[in-house]
Amino acid sequence: MKVRIGKRPKGDLVDLIERISGEDPSLCYQCGNCTAGCPAAFAMDLPPHQVVRLLQIGQEDMLLSSRAMWVCVSCLQCYSRCPKGVDISKIMEALRQVTLRRGKDGIEVKGLPVDLLSQSPQQALVAGFRKLVS
């Protein structure tokens, strides 16, 4: 049985993230297990549990300007460690989708080195562009 922790702010972003991801961020009680197990947390400006907290309190600007959603590798380690069953990788994907729909890309394609583009497998480039470019 899932029990909500605290009151959820009424906001368009929270509702949109819930609809896209199918996850309820209000279930998270900030234990930090997700961050402790995240292999990419060292490279994130906001660790996974703080991303969820910002979503809970409605800090849309700080959340959408963060690089954490672009660094998340969707390995599901956060989900496997969460005592409440919150899949943060789905929330991160939903945040990427919202940001891309608003016209903000995760990378600047023109800024990529030509050597990287010529030496990388096409499948890797396509997968990366699908995740990072609108």
Provide the residue range defining the domain that includes 115: 106-134
The CATH number for 32's domain is 1.10.1060.10
Please check whether residues 90 and 111 belong to one and the same domain: no
pLDDT digits (tens, 9 = 90+) for 54-83: 999 999 999 999 999 999 999 999 999 999
Mean pLDDT of 19-48: 95
Q: Is the same domain home to 73 and 30?
A: yes
Total number of domains in the chain: 2
Q: Kindly tell me if the per-residue pLDDT of 30 is higher than 90.
A: yes
Q: Return d(Cα 45, Cα 134) in angstroms, integer.
A: 22
Tens-place pLDDT, residues 117-133: 889 898 888 888 888 88
Q: Give the model's pLDDT for residue 106.
A: 82
Average pLDDT over residues 106-125: 85
Q: How confident is the model at residue 96 (pLDDT cuts 50, 70, 90)?
A: very high
Assigned domain for 59 exists: yes
Together in a domain, 111 and 86: no
CA distance readout (Å), 20 to 7, 63, 94: 20, 16, 6
